[in-house]
Amino acid sequence: GDSVTQMEGPVTLSEEAFLTINCTYTATGYPSLFWYVQYPGEGLQLLLKATKADDKGSNKGFEATYRKETTSFHLEKGSVQVSDSAVYFCALSGFMNRDDKIIFGKGTRLHILP
Return residues touching other proteins (CB under 8 A). Answer: 4, 36, 42-46, 89, 91, 93, 95-107
C-beta neighbour count of 72 within 10 angstroms: 17
Measured CA to CA in angstroms, residue 27 lies from 24, 72, 93, 112 at distances of 10, 11, 9, 32
Q: Residues 56, 65: contact at Cβ < 8 Å?
A: yes
Q: Which is nearer to other proteins, 69 or 99 (CB)?
A: 99
Smallest separation, CB 9 to other proteins (Å)? 10
Number of H helices, E strands in the chain: 0, 12
Smallest separation, CB 45 to other proteins (Å)? 8
Q: Which is nearer to other proteins, 67 or 109 (CB)?
A: 109
Q: Which is nearer to other proteins, 29 or 101 (CB)?
A: 101
